Amino acid sequence: MKHLLKKIAMLAVAGGIAASAQASPEADREAFQNFYKNRFASVPMEEYPNGVYSIDPVGRENWEAIEEFPPYEPFIDEGQAMWEKPFANGKTYKDCFADGPAIAGIYPLWDKKNGMVITLPLALNKCREANGEKPLKYKKGSINDILSYIAYESRGQKTNVIIPKDDPRALAAYEKGKKFYYTRRGQLNFSCANCHLQNAGMNIRADRLGPALGHTTHFPVYRSKWGTVGTLHRRVTGCNKQVRAKPFKAQGEQYRNLEYFLTYMSNGLELNGPGARK
């Protein structure tokens, strides 16, 4: 009898774990956002798009000073010129993106036809290739100009990632991204969550670890460390390298699914890119 009770208890525990490992995206997002609400009780939800500066008053002062003369401004201007300049065939980006340039809010999105997550950089390159132009590189270079322009024009839109219910592959992609987020990697054995969830708000050496909530709202980002604007996938590449894991390909399946999951976690937060960071 005792044995049976123990077994039932064990099953219940296992059931509990399974429940959160396979929870619905909405339940995931609630748990995710509640974690930060509990940890940083005085920080309103609208602050999280400001990243680490939502929880680091000292860093925030410097950041606010930087934002008075935004270092990403020239990139926005360059991007606008790119947006308006016709391709060799006479067409422009506008022919691909009728609602453009303020289109950041709909990405990343699930592409049912191709069965994959489409991010904004990927969509931009698809447009270029369809018009006979060379694709842009996904981490550095002029892709950041046009991304800066689109991000700027999209400011104020709300993160609203949709996982369509009519295609189970969309949920599977989300689940893969979620798995990636919580998996320890590299010789140093860190998951994304170790630093940006579990230890958010703590200092690693003299640097404060930023919350994951809001991580996706402000890309592309001008990083003082880079001295230029870079993409989200460039930043994630850096994270993976820091834990001594081999990074994956920018815009490859792993990072696209990760972006799908991570952006979903910030659903409801305002887009405020391009951003400026240390």
Q: Which residues are catalytic?
A: 239
CB of residue 245 to other proteins, shortest distance in Å: 6
DSSP one-letter string for 195-238? IIIITTTSEETTEEPPPSTTTTTT-SEEETTTTEEE-HHHHHHH
Among 9, 11, 31, 172, the residue binding other proteins under the rule CB under 8 A is 31
Alpha-carbon distance of 196 to 99, in angstroms, equals: 34
Alpha-carbon distance of 248 to 89, in angstroms, equals: 34
Alpha-carbon distance of 143 to 65, in angstroms, equals: 27
Among 189, 224, 249, 268, the residue binding other proteins under the rule CB under 8 A is 189
CA distances from 13 to 9, 10, 19, 22, 210 (A): 6, 5, 10, 14, 32
Alpha-carbon distance of 26 to 22, in angstroms, equals: 11
Among 9, 10, 162, 188, the residue binding other proteins under the rule CB under 8 A is 188
Among 182, 224, 249, 268, the residue binding other proteins under the rule CB under 8 A is 182
CB of residue 208 to other proteins, shortest distance in Å: 9
Q: One-letter amino acid identity for 15? A: G
Complex with other proteins: residue 8 or 27, whichever CB lies closer: 27
**Rg over CA atoms, the chain:** 20
Tell whether residue 225 is a contact of other proteins (CB under 8 A): no
Complex with other proteins: residue 36 or 219, whichever CB lies closer: 36
Tell whether residue 244 is a contact of other proteins (CB under 8 A): yes
Among 11, 21, 81, 172, the residue binding other proteins under the rule CB under 8 A is 21
CB of residue 127 to other proteins, shortest distance in Å: 30
What secondary structure letter does DSSP report for 106?
A: G
CB of residue 126 to other proteins, shortest distance in Å: 25
Under the rule (CB under 8 A), what is the footprint of other proteins? Answer: 17, 19-21, 23, 27, 31-32, 34-35, 175, 178-180, 182-190, 193-195, 197-199, 202-206, 209, 240-241, 244-248, 254
